Chain A
Amino acid sequence: QVQLVESGGGVVQPGGSLRLSCAASGFTFGSYDMHWVRQAPGKGLEWVAFIRYDESYKYYTDSVKGRFTVSRDNSKDTLYLQMNSLRTEDTAVYYCAKGVAMFSAWGISHDAFDVWGQGTMVTVSS
């Protein structure tokens, strides 16, 4: 079945780094745009980053620009989020999510998310 599985979360001190992974299965990963979305404890959803199916475009929310880097390896069906200079306000469950349309058919980054992983918790604390 179509599935996304995140890993790599944990507890890190402010200023530290983590690399999240999202393993995809059950669909042609390389044909779909992918996103990272986070949810702070008890809070709502916040979009974090986008990467086009062919890595030709990447977008970020302002609060993570210059600190987070999204990438993908289509040969391994895996999405990544490298998070550097972490802050306490980055504490959240991080979800990877798949865009609905193949090959950016709705437009670059114009996505609703039809498949979500279970999420991985990132805690930034001293």
Chain B
Amino acid sequence: DFVMTQSPDSLAVSLGERATINCKSSQNVLYSSNNKNFLAWYQQKPGQPPKLLIYWASTRDSGVPDRFSGSGSGTDFTLTISSLQAEDVAVYYCQQYYTTPLTFGGGTKVEIK
């Protein structure tokens, strides 16, 4: 199975500051035939289902604010919130969809400092 490891487990960031979350896959999720990384990011607020933020490692889903960005390739990926807003307090998960079993990282909790 592809193991997805996120870091840190939690972070506290001041309003307006940058938040950076890392995700490392145990195996390459870059598919050579289309040169795409099969990696997504989700946001989950308390009591709510997850919300898709980014797929193909860097493509924002419809309606996602542009302060959210994804980067990386192969096995190492980053989700960046460029200017943290109060409504961004949540747990963030990465997920690989390269192969089954589809697997998620353990989550990173983002709080306001």
Chain A interfacial positions (CB closer than 8 Å to B): 35, 44-47, 50, 59, 61-62, 95, 100, 106, 109-114, 116-119
CB-CB under 8 A from A117, the residues of chain B are: 49
- Kindly state the separation between the CA atoms of A114 and B40 in the bound complex, as whole angstroms: 10
Tell me the complex Cα distance, A23–B6, Å. Answer: 33
Q: Are A44 and B93 within 8 A (Cβ)?
A: yes
Q: Which residue of B lies closest to A6 (CB)?
A: B49
Q: When chains A and B are docked, how far (Å) is the Cα of A41 from the Cα of B51?
A: 18
Establish whether residues B95 and A112, one from each chain, have CB atoms under 8 Å apart when the complex forms: yes
Shortest distance in angstroms between A118's beta carbon and chain B's nearest beta carbon? 6
A19 to B101 CA separation, bound complex (whole angstroms) = 22
State the 7 A-B residue pairs at the shortest beta-carbon distance, nearest first. A116-B49, A112-B40, A47-B102, A112-B55, A45-B104, A59-B100, A114-B52
Contact assessment for A111 and B52 in the assembled complex, using a CB-CB cutoff below 8 Å = no
Which residues from chain B sit less than 8 Å from chain A, CB to CB?
Answer: 38, 40, 42, 44, 48-52, 55, 61, 93, 95, 97-107
Interface pair A110/B50, CB less than 8 Å apart: no
Given A44-B107, A114-B61, are A109 and B102 also a contact pair (CB < 8 Å)?
yes
Once the chains are docked, how many angstroms separate the CA of A5 from the CA of B29?
31
In the complex, 27 of the A-B residue pairs with CB atoms within 8 angstroms, ordered by the A residue number, are A44-B93, A44-B104, A44-B105, A44-B107, A45-B93, A47-B102, A47-B103, A47-B104, A50-B102, A59-B100, A59-B101, A61-B101, A62-B101, A95-B49, A100-B52, A106-B38, A110-B98, A111-B97, A112-B95, A113-B50, A113-B52, A114-B52, A114-B61, A116-B51, A117-B49, A118-B48, A119-B49
Smallest CB-CB separation from A110: which chain B residue? B97
Bound-state Cα–Cα, A112 to B100, Å: 12
- The complex places the Cα of A44 from the Cα of B94 at a distance, in Å, of 11
Q: Tell me, rounded to whole Å, the shortest Cβ–Cβ distance linking A50 to chain B.
A: 7
Knowing A45-B93, A45-B104, A47-B103 are in contact, say whether A116-B50 is a contact too (CB < 8 A). yes
Contact partner of A44 among B40, B51, B52, B106, CB < 8 A? B106
